[in-house]
Amino acid sequence: YQLWIGQELASLEQYVLEGDIIDFVHTETRPGFTHRGLASTLVKDALDDVRARNLKVRPYCQFVSEYIAEHPDYL
């Protein structure tokens, strides 16, 4: 999962898909893009895609785990 801002990339590219379970391992944004909500947008879009594909999530990534805790509709 990628989010491009001009030439800069925010990504949730470290994940493992096994059957109907996706393990999100790491979310990353470049230092100049912190505190702009980009990681939240990226994770929301990824979780919406996961939901549309009827997959289950194991949020090993701390950011994804915290996002789900703050947005319980993704539980």
Quick: pLDDT tens for 4-52.
888 777 788 789 999 999 999 988 877 777 777 888 998 999 999 999 9
User: b/e per residue, 14-40, with b = 16+ CB within 10 A?
Assistant: ebeeeeeebbbeebebeeebeeeebbb
Please count the residues of the chain.
Answer: 75
CA distance 54 to 63: 21
pLDDT classification of 58: cutoffs 50, 70, 90: very high
HSE of 49, CA atoms in CB hemisphere, 13 A: 11
**pTM for the whole thing?**
0.86
Whether pLDDT at 66 is above 90: yes
